[in-house]
Amino acid sequence: MCGIIGYAGHRPAVPVVMEGLERLEYRGYDSAGVAWPAACGIGVARARGKLSALAEKLAAMPPVLATCAMGHTRWATHGEPAERNAHPHLCPDRSVAIVHNGIIENYQELRQDLLARGYAFQSETDTEVLVNLIAERRKTEPDILRALAVALREARGAYAICLLCEEEPGVLYAARQQAPLICGIGVGENFVASDIPAFLPWTRKVVFLEDGEIIRINATSREIFRISDLSPVGREPASIQWDMQAARKDGYRHFMLKEIFEQPRVINDGLAGRLNAAHDLPALPELDALPIPSRLDIVACGTSWHAGLWGRHLLENWAQIPVSVDIASEFRYRERLLLEKDGAAIFISQSGETADTLAALRRGHDAGIPTLGLCNVVGSSIAREARSVIFTQAGPEISVASTKAMTSQMLALALMAISWALRKGCMEQREAREQIAILRDLPSLLDDILPEMRVRAQELAVKYATCKNFFYLGRGFSWPLALEGALKLKELSYIHAEGYAAGEMKHGPIALIDPAFPTFAIAPDDALFAKLKSNIMEVRARNGKVIALTNPGVELDADDLWIVPKIPAPLSALAALPALQLFSYQMADYLGKDVDQPRNLAKSVTVE
């Protein structure tokens, strides 16, 4: 996830672009850069690190007077955070520059082809591949719009790009495919950007670009074309009513709500570049660097630990690898034999900075086992220190309570389990394809059901808002969800909640059940449904109220049924998780709590 902005107008463009980038910095801050039409060729400034580093660099240069420019703030996906990987990227003769948000999935094939044609690369990015491809296509198609369309038809993946060409100094081209891109229409000035806040101080009049479209802007005009055949597209502008603060949240009331609703995109992004050319089997080069482990330790904290508990089932069931899952603060002090022949350990952390997880990782190193980090933040300590890293690509998570990061971790674990299962020969390709198809269908299903889910969460939150305690019950794949549901409720609404493996209830906790102590049962229609149904009956027999999150067509006696579409287990968890998140969100909001920054918590726990 990165932020891009382009400006064509009447003011000095670089300060406008820098201001826009400041408001896009939440999308990434590993490096930043700007490009503008200069007296001869294209001027570029890039710097590693936060935007302030780029601002310092620009301040040391003679003022740039160009009235057209584009900029980028980066969240590294291909290539480490470094100046050579910062955008804009230029083609070899420096006649074309582009900034890019997204992933060009077939960049390796394209790069090989360009290398064979004599292109040299300055960076490890897929973006440089794209700008070189455009340069190559211009050899037969000198018109930049046509060359851009031809190149984009060859590129697979998700992208939003902005392009500046030396020969058309006041013009910008931008295009999108499964990544956001909006045009802002001002008076004598036009913008393109990844997000509305980038240009909101200057205009509220916008045109939303659709997938497969290119836009050409200058100071006074804009034209939209289809990438497929360059036919023109007519689109009426819309007017934005939000203020700046709301706009950073895309109009959502809280970052948490925005991040819950981002989960379909997170699944799409997590799959992009992680599937083979046919998009039906995983392709995880990061895993190929490791031998298939004979056993695994998964170590993490909080929500990331819950993702690990869920992942254990997949790694054991599909890849037949025995797995232990530990809380990092316990693991790091336990006297246990880590040095097992052919073992490996996975350290899951959204921030990559959690002190206990980092210490546990170092312990793994000391013991000499291969370590694999599952991190969201590129350049974080765990990402740097682990022997191998899989980035979960959820984009910056701003709300303190983790939501979309867990989905991205679960997705990565599912892809890992399928990869290892295929390599070991314990899963047939047919079954792997079925699971990948489920994952690929999930984003559109979630997009459809999330609004309705939120309405149901709101109804239930209001009904149960006076409760002081909650049980969350689940079995098998749903037990980690029960733990996560309880964690979300307590951290956001300060209501005491316990997550339990449903079969454990009668070993003590059931004594707490009374009409004021409700149970939230995660009861998907899977192999353990009948067992969970019995546990629900045991609760109801003791006058306990039950909310049951389940699937259509089941017979279940509960006070409140919450029906979500049936997806085969274990991936059904990816559709159940947002319901738990939304219930806690709505409860906290209804109770007037500080949803995005709950008391006593920090986003990144860098102390023990």
Q: Which stretch binds ligand F6R (CB under 6 A): 2-10, 66-74, 256-264, 349-357?
A: 349-357
Active site residue 2: yes
Q: Is 191 within 8 Å of 161 (Cβ atoms)?
A: no
For residues 261 to 300, the per-residue mask of contacts with ligand F6R, x marking binding by CB under 6 A and - elsewhere, is ----------------------------------------
For the chain, percent helix, then strand, then coil, each to nearest 5?
40, 20, 40
Q: Which stretch binds ligand F6R (CB under 6 A): 87-95, 344-352, 509-517, 588-596?
A: 344-352
Q: For residues 104 and 272, give the distance between their C-alpha atoms in angstroms, rounded to a whole number.
A: 8
Q: Is 116 within 8 Å of 73 (Cβ atoms)?
A: no
C-alpha atoms less than 13 angstroms from C-alpha of 288 in its C-beta half-sphere: 5
Shortest Å, Cβ 249 to ligand F6R: 18
Question: Encoding tokens for residue 292?
Answer: 């298939």
Shortest Å, Cβ 300 to ligand F6R: 6
Residue closer to ligand F6R, measured from CB, 256 or 510: 256
Q: For residues 153 and 147, give the distance between their C-alpha atoms in angstroms, rounded to a whole number.
A: 10
Q: Residue 190: name the closest of 150, 162, 226, 167 by CA.
A: 162
Q: Is 311 within 8 Å of 413 (Cβ atoms)?
A: yes
For residues 575 to 604, the per-residue mask of contacts with ligand F6R, x marking binding by CB under 6 A and - elsewhere, is -----------------------------x
Q: Is 392 within 8 Å of 303 (Cβ atoms)?
A: no
Shortest Å, Cβ 344 to ligand F6R: 19
Q: Which stretch binds ligand F6R (CB under 6 A): 253-261, 347-355, 414-422, 496-504?
A: 347-355
Name the one residue in this structure whose structure tokens are 């990331």.
304
Name the one residue in this structure whose structure tokens are 């910095």.
25
Q: What phi and psi values does residue 520 have, to the nearest 5 degrees? A: -105, 110
Q: Pick from 190, 349, 419, 586: which binds ligand F6R (CB under 6 A)?
A: 349
For residues 480 to 499, the per-residue mask of contacts with ligand F6R, x marking binding by CB under 6 A and - elsewhere, is -------x---x--------
Shortest Å, Cβ 593 to ligand F6R: 14
Residue closer to ligand F6R, measured from CB, 487 or 505: 487
Q: Which stretch binds ligand F6R (CB under 6 A): 76-84, 143-151, 216-224, 302-310?
A: 302-310
Q: Which stretch binds ligand F6R (CB under 6 A): 75-83, 188-196, 267-275, 301-309?
A: 301-309
* Type of residue found at 226: R
Q: For residues 179 and 525, give the distance between their C-alpha atoms in angstroms, rounded to a whole number.
A: 34
Residue closer to ligand F6R, measured from CB, 213 or 356: 356
Q: Is 503 helix (H, G, I), strand (E, B) or coil?
A: helix
> To 5 degrees, how large is the angle CA 184–CA 188–CA 191?
25
Shortest Å, Cβ 418 to ligand F6R: 23
Q: Pick from 194, 354, 478, 586: which binds ligand F6R (CB under 6 A)?
A: 354
For the chain, give the number of residues. 608
Please work out the total of residues on this chain that contact ligand F6R, with binding judged by CB under 6 A: 15
Shortest Å, Cβ 488 to ligand F6R: 6
- Residue 301 as a binder of ligand F6R (CB under 6 A): the answer is yes
Q: Is 467 within 8 Å of 577 (Cβ atoms)?
A: no
The residues, ordered by sequence, that sit 6+ positions from 525 with a Cβ below 8 Å of its Cβ are: 550, 551, 553, 554, 566
Shortest Å, Cβ 415 to ligand F6R: 18
Q: Which of 2, 162, 183, 301 is catalytic?
A: 2
Residue closer to ligand F6R, measured from CB, 301 or 567: 301
* Residues between 390 and 429 with contacts to ligand F6R, criterion CB under 6 A: 401-402
For the chain, report the end-to-end CA distance as a whole number of angstroms. Answer: 30
Q: Which stretch binds ligand F6R (CB under 6 A): 22-30, 222-230, 286-294, 346-354?
A: 346-354
Residue closer to ligand F6R, measured from CB, 206 or 574: 574
- Using only C-alpha atoms, what is the Rg of the chain? 25
Q: Is 572 helix (H, G, I), strand (E, B) or coil?
A: coil
Q: Per DSSP, which regions of 440-539 are E strands?
A: 469-474, 496-501, 519-522
Residue closer to ligand F6R, measured from CB, 149 or 400: 400
Q: Pick from 73, 85, 303, 393: which binds ligand F6R (CB under 6 A)?
A: 303
Q: Which of 205, 463, 566, 603 is catalytic?
A: 603
Shortest Å, Cβ 406 to ligand F6R: 8
Residue closer to ligand F6R, measured from CB, 388 or 604: 604
Q: For residues 424 and 552, give the distance between their C-alpha atoms in angstroms, rounded to a whole number.
A: 36
* Type of residue found at 246: A
Q: For residues 408 and 403, give the distance between their C-alpha atoms in angstroms, rounded to a whole number.
A: 9
Q: Pick from 263, 351, 478, 581: which binds ligand F6R (CB under 6 A)?
A: 351
Q: Residue 99: name the closest of 201, 6, 14, 187 by CA.
A: 6
> To 5 degrees, how large is the angle CA 74–CA 76–CA 77?
130
* Type of residue found at 190: N
Residue nearest to ligand F6R (CB): 302
Strand order in the sheet with 546-550: 496-501, 469-474, 519-522, 546-550, 560-563
Q: Pick from 304, 393, 435, 519: which binds ligand F6R (CB under 6 A)?
A: 304
Residue closer to ligand F6R, measured from CB, 246 or 398: 398
Helix (H) / strand (E) containing 591:
none
Q: Are strands 222-226 and 232-233 parallel, antiparallel or unpaired?
A: antiparallel
Shortest Å, Cβ 562 to ligand F6R: 21
Q: Which stretch binds ligand F6R (CB under 6 A): 279-287, 333-341, 348-356, 539-547?
A: 348-356
Active site members: 2, 603
The site for ligand F6R (CB under 6 A) is made up of 301-304, 349-351, 354, 357, 401-402, 487, 491, 604-605
